[in-house]
Amino acid sequence: ETGVTQTPRHLVMGMTNKKSLKCEQHLGHNAMYWYKQSAKKPLELMFVYSLEERVENNSVPSRFSPECPNSSHLFLHLHTLQPEDSALYLCASSLMRGNEQFFGPGTRLTVL
């Protein structure tokens, strides 16, 4: 596979569930990002990892927990989410922070 991939593409979960979103990049990049895209709202940056170190946590609630085990993989662990967390979650990567970002196709999350 090439580019940035995300799994699953769609996820429906209850408020008490625990799930994880996975992102993988095959571009040799060193920075990875999680974004939230809600209807009628701009793209919101959630987390930034550079060389596997978290460098940005944009006041995201603790029910979202990121993990970056290596420069190619990024996870977003979800627990006790709220219905307002329903959105498209996009992963992106860039060669270094500040360079152009390449986005994955996203995970459409619905919280019931």
Residues in the chain: 112
Which is it for the CA torsion 77, 82, 83, 85, positive or negative?
Answer: negative
In the complex, least distance from residue 110 CB atom to other proteins, rounded to whole angstroms: 16
Shortest distance in whole angstroms from residue 33 CB to other proteins: 8
Segment interacting with other proteins (CB under 8 A) among 11-19, 50-58, 67-75, 79-87: 50-58
Cα–Cα separations (whole angstroms), residue 49 to 13, 64, 72: 26, 15, 11
Stretch that binds other proteins, among 16-24, 44-52, 67-75, 77-85 (CB under 8 A): 44-52
22 binds other proteins (CB under 8 A): no
3-state secondary structure of 85: helix
Q: What's the order of all strands across the beta sheet hosting 64-70?
A: 4-7, 18-25, 73-79, 64-70
# residues contacting other proteins (CB under 8 A): 27
CA 79 to chain centre: 14
For the bound state, the minimum distance from the C-beta of residue 10 to other proteins, rounded and expressed in Å, comes to 12
- Among the listed residues 19, 22, 79, 97, the single contact to other proteins using CB under 8 A: 97
Residues that bind other proteins (CB under 8 A): 4, 31, 33, 40-45, 48, 50, 55-56, 58, 90, 94, 96-106
